[in-house]
Chains A and B, each alone.
Chain A
Amino acid sequence: MTTNHKMIARDVSVFYGDKKAIDSVSIDVDMENVTAFIGPSGCGKSTFLRTLNRMNDTISIARVEGTIELDGEDIYASGMDVVQLRARVGMVFQKPNPFPKSIYENVAYGPRIHGLAAGKPEMDQVVEKSLRRAGLWDEVKDRLQDSGTALSGGQQQRLCIARAIAVDPEVILMDEPCSALDPIATAKIEELIHELRGRYAIVIVTHNMQQAARVSQRTAFFHLGTLVEYGETSEIFTNPRQEKTKDYITGRYG
């Protein structure tokens, strides 16, 4: 296995009770590439994404088999600290979910609980840096004490990205981050993903194929809980090897 793979998943299966939701998926996530997961609704792409930072642990009937490594370390090993894992593998959700607190508090919360900033001046810096990276600083710098929930949907989602960035993660998982946003806000998020690429390994789940084509370098196509095809985005969209992939991206079903 080559060393530039940030995360390596091998033969990962997920069960909800007796139902198998994911069947033996193997995928590598790179530092320099944005990886997109596409596929029809219910194909398991979000479920698989949530195994990468063990968010499925919160569902009591969910069970994961196979191995997932972060920097060569098995994240499902018994010695793994889930809290630290989630700080290293951040997540942005489908619906913007800022805390009902001030903009400043939203961003500062992560660094505070992980002790990443000593003192107020340092915290101010972390907050500013995170908001700048999320492209939100200029819009909110004069009203950091306003409630995060008072922002528009697109701004809320960028606030959530800033919140994820603030704890300095290595991987950022995005679960359909634009599905609740209008086209202008979507464009801003996509632009942001471009800028964040390289600094963080980014995995994005989307049901919008154009979006996958625009933002990602590598694309994985899921169907009915299996990984059908995984490769260069340009390859998948122009020259898919599998018939199913071709049918999906040409809009035959999904």
Chain B
Amino acid sequence: MTELAAMTPVPTAPKRIPTDWKSDLMQRRIRKRYASERRFRFIGLAAVSLSVAFLAFLLITMIGNGARGFTQTDIRLPVNFAQTSLMLDPTALTGPNAEAALAAANIQGATEEAAVAAFGPDGADYISDGAWLSVRAAIRKDPAILGKTVDIAVPASTHIDIAAKNGADPEIRAAYQKLEATGRLSTGFNLNFLTGSNSNDPTLVGIWGAFKGSLLTMIVTLLLAFPIGVLAALYLEEYAPRNRWTDLIEVSINNLAAVPSIIFGLLGLAVFLNVMHLPRSAALVGGLTLALMTMPVIVIAGRNAIKSVPPSIRDAALGIGASPVQVVFHHVLPLALPGILTGTIIGMARALGETAPLLMIGMRAFIPAPPAGITDPATVLPVQIYLWADEVSRGFVEKTSAAIIVLLVFLLSMNGLAIYLRNKFEQRW
């Protein structure tokens, strides 16, 4: 037996061949790894640089063009009221019929006469079509100037304004230089742009009307979409039984978020205007339409935020006898709020930049006065930009860029506020 055992070869483990970490194959593999690492980093960097370059290009062109939109060239127009054809009795302007007297007087003609008198036969082309409004304001302020010769600052015409900003054809440049020589030109901050509304004349337009329209529309949208969206998300996540109906609702909401915005405009037109007969081109209808569009975004973001609240927090609250409503409002909602707010920012930013659905409900009308309330005719910033970009007059180019700057500032401050609120509510666990 022992002999036999000795003869049987003892099974040995196959000899272990040590890995040669220094072999050529290995070295090549290492080089390849480093190369792919470098390649990936380069591609990533290139992608980031490209997007930064696009952004920089956008900002530089917008600010370059738009900054000029915030300035306006004025002409100090000497008006000799005694020599103009203006028939206006200063005493009539102190009585109760002052406005009627002003309206009846041909101030426009008198202003043009004064311009011709001061700058020659082409004088009337140098001043803005709305120059007489400044003259009227001056008279209203101090009726005593009637009968005297006074200098009144009036906006220059678009041609002169563009020439003052270095961008006109030679003929107009000559006229500009002639005016410049008189020392009556000055270029300053255009306050009217921030306080006025739409106009046919680019020297007189203002962004305030559209800004206020956007503000009112956004308020209506937020007041509707935020509570409804959050409550819908809470119900679907915390209460709704999991069955075919909730699946159907979920699919519908996801689809709704992807529907092209113009469809929502058609829906708004059909429901809010044709069926409910709400006022056309009002911020109320705009807000309602945009709320329809924003709600699915808030619901989806809200559900994800609610889902990410750890279940242990729900257990903890239920375990000491909190009712389901208390669990939701004391624990789940506060913890989900930062995520919900992020979704709301995205939805609202999209709504603020939306044009198509608002065109459908008539918010592209020419609105020369800011809306007083949500039922007044209004327009919004993106629509205003669209309308101005369509204008023929060259003066609108810089106004369009300036309006874009205003829209971007609005967007940034809205997002800034939301980020501030989100950080304020953010809790760690």
Residues of A within 8 A of B335 (CB): 100
In chain A, what residue has the closest Cβ to B428? A100
Contact: A93 with B242, CB < 8 Å?
Answer: no
Docked-complex contact B312 and A97, CB < 8 angstroms: yes
CB contacts (< 8 Å) of A87 on chain B: these are 320-321
Chain B binding site: helix, strand, loop or mixed by DSSP? helix
Cβ of A160 < 8 Å from any Cβ of B? yes
Q: Mark B333-367, 1 if CB is under 8 A from A, else 0.
A: 00100000000000000000000000000000000
Q: Could you tell me which residues of chain B, from 53 to 95, have a CB within 8 Å of some CB in chain A?
A: none
Q: Is B427 an interface residue (CB 8 A)?
A: yes
- Kindly list chain A residues whose C-beta atoms are within 8 Å of the C-beta of B317: 99, 109
CB atoms of A58 and B321 under 8 A apart: no
* B320–A97 CB distance below 8 A: no
Evaluate contact between A167 and B315: CB separation under 8 angstroms: no
Taking a contact as CB atoms closer than 8 A, the residue among B242, B310, B323 that contacts A83 in the complex is B323
- Answer yes or no: A90 CB below 8 A from chain B CBs: yes
Tell me, rounded to whole Å, the shortest Cβ–Cβ distance linking B332 to chain A.
11
Q: Across the interface, which residues of A come within 8 angstroms of B14, CB to CB?
A: none
> Which residues on the B side are within 8 Å of A86 (C-beta)?
318-321
Q: Per DSSP, are chain A's interface residues mostly helix, strand or loop, or mixed?
A: helix
Q: How far is the CA of A83 from the CA of B315 in the complex (A)?
A: 13
Contact flags A72-111 to B (C-beta < 8 A → 1, else 0) = 0000000000011111101111010111110000000110
- Is B223 engaged at the interface, CB distance under 8 Å to the other chain? no
Given A60-B241, A149-B429, residue A95 in contact with residue B312 (CB < 8 A): yes
**A105-138 CB contact bits vs B (8 Å, 1 = yes)?**
0000110011000000000000000000000000
Encode contact with A along B296-321: 1 for CB under 8 Å, 0 otherwise. 00000000000000101111111111
B313 contacts A97, C-beta separation under 8 Å: yes
Question: B316 near A90 (CB under 8 angstroms)?
Answer: no
- Cross-chain contact of B319 among A55, A84, A95 (Cβ < 8 A): A55
- The distance in angstroms between the C-alpha atoms of A92 and B320, with both chains bound, is 9
Q: Which of B312, B314, B319, B322 is within 8 Å of A113, CB to CB?
A: B322
Instruction: List, in ascending order, chain A residues with CB within 8 A of B319's CB.
Output: 53, 55, 86, 90-93, 164
Q: List the B side residues contacting A167 at CB < 8 Å.
A: 320-321
How many Å lie between the Cα of A167 and that of B320 in the bound state? 7
Residue of B nearest to A111 (CB): B320
B318 contacts A55, C-beta separation under 8 Å? yes
CB <8 Å contact, A97 and B315: yes
Give which listed residue, A60, A90, A95, contacts B320 with CB less than 8 A.
Answer: A90
A91 and chain B: residue at smallest CB distance: B319
Whether A163 sits at the interface, judged by CB under 8 Å, is yes
> Do A58 and B320 form a contact, CB below 8 Å, given A100-B429, A113-B326, A149-B428?
no
B429 in contact with A93 (CB, 8 Å): no
Q: B331 near A: Cβ within 8 Å?
A: yes
| Interchain residue pairs A-B with the least CB separation, the first 3 | A87-B321, A100-B429, A91-B319
